[in-house]
Structure 1
């Protein structure tokens, strides 16, 4: 009898163990369900973000094609040097601004006076601006083989791991490598320079006031006169060039254009890019991309 009683007394403990095991299994299944739900949710979000990115990328490309079409379908003599337009592409929207690179100072073609003038217009002293301009000229100027170049010696003295290129700047960002120019000055200069216009002149119709101020011989009074004159839509371009009083002033554009595109997808995701293209007069392609910079990519923002 005592053995039977002992057996019956042990049954509750066995059942309790089974209940605990079942509870652990239910908890594990719940955890797996939560993990799976989290995975599905994250996957859905990733897919949605990826789809939005594809849409905004497509809109940016559409904006580029529309701008290139507007430029290449017009004769070079009457082609606009700047402009802006908005367009709906499917359920998305794009805002496009284009401007000839002639509106910027070309690091490879501009004379010393214009390079120094730009820095002076940006707040650099005339003495320092002249030195910094010499640094740029020395970087881009060729050197005689077998002869020691003073600029090379200057870089070696500074302990740099490289020497000046002694060739044209391939990109304006290479200005960061030119020694002897403070970083703060380089940062101020970059928005106003290019390597794509291949022009010694700047377009006074489209150039920023700082670039117009860089023209050799430009005075504050003349600058204000030019800025007032170009605001007149009926101004004779030749008169405007004459008012600038510089052989480095023009109203002509270059074949390179800087295109800024802001795109908004149907989900209101925003994206933008700054692209420089070269218009081609022959061949299968109407243009060639010279530079592409994605300036901003956000999940949402203020509608265009």
Structure 2
């Protein structure tokens, strides 16, 4: 009798362990399927957006103007926001006035001239020190193990190596900067309120008024004019045929946390594209599984 009870106890333990293992493997498999579904939704949205941006029909073609587009999926939804990368400030080409305007907007307590001079000394090809800038000797004196590149920045994250640009300042500035527009001007077609307000001669009220006029003109299928921005137009242009696109894709699928990814895409004339940059912002902790 004791042997029978002991055998039953052993078998019960084995069965419980097996059931637990099966549940674990099932959860792992389900997580894998969910991840594949999320990847597929992200890839499909990217391909669909590229297709829409390359349409020959101007009335149907998406504009890189900062608007969002919803793409229905079988088990959730996907939102794609497309904006010209030129709607940001190019840290390699922008004149100091634009850099000063942006830093003053975002970092009102920062030493604006010092930061801009340090950036200019980093990107220019000479060893001449700007009035408040930094070349090799200044970096060494400050304890850095390197000096300025004296060349164009290869990514916006390289700005973190420039003297004075600490993590907090970088976090504030990065969303408004690029190295891919290769233009000293801002594409006003998709520029946001803060970027426009950084332009010399444009107040926040001016920027708000221009954005409202821009939305009305685009809704009516009319050309957007820069005339209301007067002398500040020399820092801006208006390009509807941008080939370098900033794309933010957010998927919301059932039984999984929202997923957001950002791409910088170079559209090619043959219909193909090149991914110049790709980032995955951290997910909200309260929504994480």
Shorter-chain TM-score category? 0.7 to 0.9
Once structures 1 and 2 are overlaid, which stretch shifts more, 235-244 or 56-65? 235-244
- Residue equivalent to 2:158: 174
Aligned partners of 1:75, 1:111: CA distance in 2, in Å?
36
- Residue equivalent to 1:279: 267
Contact 2:134 2:163 in 1 (8 A): no
Structure 2: runs of 5+ lacking an equivalent = 128-132
Aligned partners of 2:123, 2:141: CA distance in 1, in Å?
19
1:29-68 to 2 correspondences below 5 Å:
29-68=11-50
Offset from partner CA, 1:185-223 (integer Å, 9 cap, x none): 221111111111111111223211111112133345543
TM-score, scaled to structure 1 = 0.79
Contact 2:188 2:238 in 1 (8 A): yes
User: Does the residue aligned with 2:250 lie in a helix, a strand or coil?
Assistant: strand
- Residue equivalent to 2:105: 121
Q: 1:224 and 1:298, CA in 2 relative to 1: closer, same or farther beyond 3 A?
A: closer
Runs of 4+ aligned residues of structure 1 deviating over 4 Å after TM superposition are: 21-25, 266-269, 296-301
User: Does the residue aligned with 1:238 lie in a helix, a strand or coil?
Assistant: coil
- Residue equivalent to 2:130: none
| Count of matched residue positions in the alignment of Structure 1 and Structure 2 | 277
How far apart are residue 31 of structure 1 and its match? 2.6
User: Does the residue aligned with 1:163 lie in a helix, a strand or coil?
Assistant: coil
TM-score, scaled to structure 2 = 0.83
- Residue equivalent to 1:95: 79
Compare CA radii of gyration and give the structure with the larger one. 1
Name which of 276, 279, 284 aligns with 1:290. Answer: 276
Q: 1:74 and 1:134, CA in 2 relative to 1: closer, same or farther beyond 3 A?
A: farther
Q: 1:229 and 1:130, CA in 2 relative to 1: closer, same or farther beyond 3 A?
A: farther
Alpha-carbon RMSD = 3.1
Aligned partners of 1:220, 1:298: CA distance in 2, in Å?
30
Name which of 260, 278, 295 aligns with 2:248. Answer: 260
